[in-house]
Amino acid sequence: MLSLDSVHIAFDEDSLWLLNICLAIIMFGVALDIRLADFKALFKSPKPIIVGLSSQLILLPVLTLILIYIAEPLPSLALGMMLVAACPGGNISNFMSSMAKGNIALSVSLTACTTISAIIFTPLIFTLLGTSYAPTKELLKTFSVSISEVAFTVTFILGIPLISGIMFNHYLLKWTKKLRVVIKPLSIAIFVAFVGVAFYKNKEIFLNYFQYIVYLVFAHNAIAFLGAYLYSGLFQLSLYDRRSITIETGIQNSGLGLILIFSFFDGLGGMAMIAAWWGIWHILSGLTLATFWSYKPVSLTT
């Protein structure tokens, strides 16, 4: 059996472009729920958003690197974990925060801030993590990855749609209400279908190597949730804020990760499997956590 470090997942160029467009539409749909007033209210009391951003941009990458040093996975699996940790918050985190009775304004603001900052921080964090672990540093030498090209891809897929959606919501509120009904469920359904087709076309690879990734994604996702919850507690934030920060840190944009893997790493098997399984598992774990919290409402100060 070939090593995951030498296995590549098939995904043709036309499908990749459609996946790019689909993720951009999803992000546009997410932005339709973001109001400029949400930012103004939060930045008057910036502590929760500062803690939330540091949880995603600093804490999660550090915890990821610690887990990699402990587990010592194959280099391609480690790279997949690093890329997931470097991605911004996931598209469904706002829904989960609402379901969990968390701070929705904080959740959407964190999604917006990490998405915009991903233009810089996704390639930067991934590069720092990848060069901090000898096996992944060696594997990275086999690829020619331009940070500027990664930044351009992130801008096209996330940055432009996000800003466009916020402006659309601000200036064309009547049309926004109509678009919300259709655009988000349709685009997410198309995205899930793409991932499903990718799984089906490469089912033998996934079945052969599935056991190598299950425990890594479980552990990675668990430390993201637990680490963020404890970390935000250190700053004496309310449970209302802690729930949103926890979900934002544990729900990562693995769709962006998959696009970057297919665009710049030739669908490297270990990376693709980590990102794909994370994309499935974080929905299950996030919904489970949000459902549990939905039965335990909290006030803004507890």
- Averaged confidence pLDDT in the chain: 83
Does the pLDDT at position 191 exceed 90?
no
In this prediction, residue 167 has a pLDDT band, given cuts at 50, 70 and 90, of confident
pTM of the model: 0.87
Angstrom CA distances, 1 to 6, 129, 209, 267, stand at 10, 28, 10, 18
Output the pLDDT for position 1. Answer: 45
What digits encode the pLDDT tens for the residues 63-82?
A: 999 999 999 999 999 999 99
Output the pLDDT for position 179. Answer: 76
Q: Which range has highest mean pLDDT (42-46, 51-55, 158-162, 254-258)?
A: 51-55
Output the pLDDT for position 141. Answer: 84
Domain spans, the chain: 35-159+211-294
Q: Which range has highest mean pLDDT (87-96, 215-224, 250-259)?
A: 215-224
Instruction: State which fold the 35-159+211-294 domain adopts.
Output: Na+/H+ antiporter like fold (1.20.1530)
What digits encode the pLDDT tens for the residues 29-40?
A: 777 777 776 667
**Residue 142: phi, psi to the nearest 5?**
-85, -5
